[in-house]
Structure 1
Amino acid sequence: MEKVERSFMEPMREVDFSKAKFKFDNPFINIQSKLETIFLKKAYILLLIGFLLGRALILAKLTPFSIPFFAAVYLIRRDRAPIALVGLVAGAATLSIRDAVSTFALTILYLIVYRVTRKWLKNEVKMIPFYVLSIILLGGLAEGYFFNGTIAFYDLIMAGVEAGLGFILTLIFLQSLPLLSITKRRQSLKTEEIVCLIILLASVMTGTIGWSIYNLSVEHIFSRYLVILFAFVAGATVGSTVGVVTGLIFSLASVSSFFHMSLLAFSGLLGGLLKEGQKIGVAIGLFIATLLLGMYGDGSANLVKTISESTAAVLLFFLTPNSLTSKLAKYIPGTAEHTQEQQVYMRKMRDVTAQRVAQFSSVFQALSNSFSSQDEKMEFDDIDRELDYFLGNVTEKTCQLCHRKDKCWSKHFTTTYDYMKQIMLEMEQREEGVSQKLYRDFETYCIKPKKVIEVMDQELTFHQANQRLKKQVKESRKLVADQLLGVSEVMENFAKEIQRERENHHRQEELILEALQDFGIEIENVDVYSLEPGNVDIEMTLPGYEGHGECEKIIAPMLSDILGENILVNKEAYAPDSTSIYHVTFRSAKTYSIETGVAHAAKDGGLISGDSYSTIELGGGKYAIAISDGMGNGERAHIESQETLQLLQKILQSGIEEKVAIKSVNSVLSLRTTDEIFSTLDLAMIDLQNAATKFLKIGSIPSFIKRGDRVIKIQANNLPIGIIQELEVDVVSEQLKAGDLLIMMSDGVFEGPKHVENYDIWMKRKITELKTENPQEVADLIIEEVIRSRSGQIADDMTVVVAKIKHNTPKWASIPVLKYRQKAN
């Protein structure tokens, strides 16, 4: 009931059908426009439907269609309800005057009851079917009592059956009538809506039972036309469903029509299966079903008549414009037209989203430019203006009340100004204050030299504090500008990614699917999103997957041979709510891989270390290794270093450039508290495609690269993170090679050896003496050497992270698929 309520509670809208875009041939344009105006816009189609439903029978006696149809029309299109009533009464009059009077009387009774009780109704939609049930039941009983003088048990049963059918038909008409009235529908049809529409159309066609043209049954022609129309539009499933529902309605109306249900269902099935042959294929399906079931059912006597009826249905089908079938197909899920319509909608949504993201990017870019424009270096006139402002404050408190003011500032302005400027500069540069020579020279010139210097010293304190504040504001603006610029670049790249359409790789998809199926692997679907070298992206769906490693051991090696580059399984998982459908994503293997080893120890053998480390695999084929050392030891230092790495990881994963990310972390850590809390950061960003590495060291000690017998030192001089708000980040670049060992450590390891004068030489010697290239063993040995040098004492938190650069060799060799490799290329 709730679905019914949602489907039509909105008022019916008048639609301008003159703008409908049916592409008929030119001779039919005017006819089509007139028919639309008469039947749809003026709703005279309700007159035709009412006429046919008014004379439609169930079990050759019951007429349960009239009141449900009128109730639905009265609720949805109240202004057109009189037209529907005229059609119902006229249709009933073709059966008998008694049926016409009964239909009119029950309709008037329904209107009276509805109008009287309407003000007490909270939900009209839910109560309409019950009204119809009551009216039909009371009307059937009253009619039986009026004509027979008593109510027999048979009359009670028939009245109950008719009332029950009326209840169900009301629900169906409430769902299906809006589908006939609104032509510009945006949503696709639901399954129950399609079924309700078919029941309505089949019910209408029952009103044609008994009609014939040249001895051909009208209901048979239109029912077969309806079936092959939906089979052509929506395929075998919907076509057979339409055939079953239509045949069932006809069999209820007339027992002699029971045989036709099989014919209609079989026609819908064959027509849907042969829809690839367009209209001719669907027509052949109908003729095959007619021949087979026609000979089986009625024998050869009526075969010619049955074939003639199917021929008439096919002629109507061929006269149906393709634009009409295409428009109908857009609303039925599963059809190519519906999929294309959804793709158009998604493309529009994508373009709108990309445009909005690009607009936000431009906003952030403008904000960044606005902040940056204020960060230019101060010009000389600005410096002079600051100096004049400072000296003005000094003279206001000293020279303003002096009787020699006019002589000093009017007659000897330049001399006085130079003296005071020189005094200010010396007070700024010299900790002990003004030199004796300058003081004696100024004393001979000014009668209040001591007071001037005292006031200048006070004002200088305020002036310097003001300059520091301005510098901090300037540095903060620069940091904000960099952050806004980073966000702008991320959003711009995101907008470009959104606008990238999936390329058309149907040929490659078919080749891959054929190759895997020939190999004996059951694949349901293959979607190729990118074949760009180094950036291959392929998704597959495997039905009935049992998890024996086929994806890694067979499919990925075959793809590697077909595409000519190493392909690995990137992600695999069962579909939601399913244990048989398996989704797998294949991506290009990176040129290099990283194997890491970590060793760490807390001060004095404690449980919590102030050091933290992280290895992060970022998007775009980058790998990050980071070590952070919090100030001091224990839990507080651990929290500081851990929070530093967590902030850095989240910012880097968002796509912001490394230097901006580190500056952002520094800004947060330096502004969040007034305590003297800081932490070091040692970051290495490795590109897995070419092994190019960037080292960003913030207050950290050197790192080392072991390449054979050589040991390369990586060092940069930056203050620890969180000490100052404006952080200059030096980036050291180094090209790594396969087989290199990258060794990063905290200061507890580097400065840990006891009685060592040069830590660099000692660490290089220990690294050179290493006999193993296993990253974990190297990390363990380095920490062990440091602890041994202190006789087993752990003087500080210690962390060592060792990364070995290796060529990325797939675990499984490629499987040759020569003919498919040649076709793919």
Structure 2
Amino acid sequence: MQNTTEITGLRLTERLGRLLEGRSYAALCLCCGGGGMVAAMARIIGQPAPFGVAFAAAVPFRFTLPTALGVAVGYLASAGVSGGYRYIAASFLVTLIRWLLRPEKWDRWKGWICPFTASSCVLLAGVVPALYRDPLLYDALLWLTQIVIAGAAASFLDRAMAILSGEDCRTRFYATALGVLFAIGVMGLHTIQLGGVTLGRIAAATAVLAAVRVRGNSFAAMAGILSGLAVGFCTGDFPLYVTIYGLGGMLAGIFSVFGRLGSTLAFTFTYGAVSALASRSPSGFIEVTLAAVLFLMIPPTVFRLLAATFTPSAADEATVKCLLEERLTGTAEALREVSDTTREVAKRLARTAGGDLNGIFDRVAERLCKKCPYSMACWQEHYSDTVDALSHSVRKLKNTGSLEGEDLPDSLGRCIRRDQMAALLTAEYTAWTGKEEARRRAARARNLVTDQFDGMAIALEGMVEQLEEIAAGAPALAAHVEEIFREAKLEPKRAVCWKDREGRVTAVAEIPQYKQARAVPEQLAAEIGEALELTMSYPKVARYGANIRYTFRERPLYGVEYGSCQLCSGGGSVCGDSFRLFTTSGGQAHLLLSDGMGTGSAAAVDSAMAASLVTRMLEAGMDYRSALRMVNAALLVKSGEESLATLDAAAIDLYTGKVRLYKAGAAPTILRRSGRGVLVESTSLPAGILERVEFEESSFTLEEGDLLVLLSDGASAQGCQWILRELEAFRQEDLDSLCQRLARTARLRRTDGREDDITILCCRLTRQL
């Protein structure tokens, strides 16, 4: 399947840039000249404005001359020779200055020289008329206002031109620049009218309706106010047009839950009714009807591209990703350092604790023998014999649990306090064993805590690896998804898309919980796949607070068929083996088998606990290494009795067919690849028997039709060669039937007179259509 999102994912400005790159210079000159003409025709309360001069200062260098000609035509058409000659002269003066400076110098100082040149040329063009008449204070203030307007407009238009060349406009300043460009366009088109119907008001109404589809209520209200101000500057009637467009935009946004038609009808009625009441003319209804027709003719793709262009970005995604990776990595290293330090300190304390039996003998000698007349003979002349006798007594005490005076060895025959010595040895040994047990429990708990620190560190490192797999966000694709949810009347709270390093697309959208009944996941997946030109899988649906989250992923190349069979030992009803067959996000299929120690309910508890915990952790996004550490710690503290379980897992990447095996004390795994059987064995220890247990890992790649078989030790007790032959002879039958036949055969082949639980899991890769 070819991934074509590199084209569909472009923002509108990027598409315009690529479109203009392939067009002739003459066509581009015509566009710039037309833009200059519209800017020059813009008027403020019926008077010419220096927007044409600002436009001439902002366009790219190679289009300065055609732009100046367009500006001249615009001023002549709207103000005539007498009213527009100053601005015509100023625009040609701007062109001359730009030619004298050359483009490299202009681009170097562009941020300040563009508005400065526009203002200076308007200033110079007004000097000559001022010499021939005495200007009034009003004329001087008007002249100063025109100079300021020229500089400010040139600054904003310069940013807008940068946007149209492909720069990111999802910041407030650049969005304001586009708003100024739009307002100037509306003001210029407003001078083109026929029978009271103006092209500017039609364009403004169309823009407000489009804003509803692009960003919803708030964006529509903002576009309405901006359109009202633009038309108000032209006519001087600010209250009327701000009310018409602002109120219309707000109502269109409210009724957008009924789709494009609902918002169109709401805006049309508001605009037409208020305009008719104010002007007593049908021109308002004509304008809004034409705007509605234009709006309904715009294809949805245009709205998606506009949404991607105007989607605000709170922070650069690379910066956020780098910050998260740094914080997670630092936390993982800190946890690992805590674990290592705790373990090292515990080892040193254990070496200096002095927990041997000699301490008991020293205390007995100090308390009982210090004032005895035979002390010198026992503890100096015959020291070795005395210590050996006491050691023998302690061993007897350990075996029988009691010690009397007559139980002491004959070598202590000279002792005159045998009963007291026996009692003191019993008391000291009892205290010593209690302390030793406490030390062992503390050491065990300490090891469990350090293991959990290790597990959390590994989990955080796994999160860093997952972040590194995210190549980049895709706001344009997210706009497609948001528009599809909006058209389905699901009121999306947000939508995000990203690609991993393999180019695979993930899309996430959240809707209010009360809208879930309206959603049809299969239809949404099909529409998103069509919009993104991909094939999407059925979405994962989860609840997050008051919202419902839908996660769509590009459909993997492979699917997987499962088979399983379990036979309980001795025909019982409780099996000591537990297994899980499931698929996690990211196109990972998992086979998980756990075999508890022994048979019956106790083994079933251990295996079910191990399988359930690992499954839950994998579904939460953790990796196998951290899951094993957590499960191992859980089995160690589950009860005071010995508790252990094997873990045998296979994770299959359904996009590539790559398989990773994870084994902790598990039986061999068998696979049939290209028709031949292969045996994968392990020498690792099960979970719950030692601290810091590790998986033994191996990997290989499967293709369509290949088989993977996981076994418990009850199935492999008589070897696995016969299973290899069975798999090589296997044809396209049901996988459950295959597992049942292997399990029954394994039971019949057992000849050692013992029985054990038997579990066989099988999966087969299939290529998805």
TM-score for both structures, normalised by structure 1: 0.46
